[in-house]
Amino acid sequence: MQTLAYELTTTFADDVIELVKGFGRTLVHLATAPIERIANACDVAGILEQRRAEQRAPRGRPQGGRRCDPRNCPLSPFGSLSELT
């Protein structure tokens, strides 16, 4: 049986971790908002929105044990740069 002190401590620690994550998300959003705004303003043809929609869409697994494309592979360090091409 857990003691009340242990439960309060773990709850407090979990709350602090979530608070720090929330502040971090807010700071990242504030730092990247101008960049996103410029990118969306320059996206005349709607390419960025189309690619975002494709990324959100569910995908099936590759058939025949094929490896993933290096440009779209989630483990690739340069996978996020595929939007630039």
pLDDT of residue 23: 94
pLDDT of residue 42: 87
User: Is this prediction's pTM over 0.95?
Assistant: no
pLDDT of residue 26: 93
pLDDT of residue 1: 55
In which residue ranges of the chain is pLDDT below 50? none
How does DSSP classify residue 75? T
Distance of CA 27 to the CA centre of its chain: 15
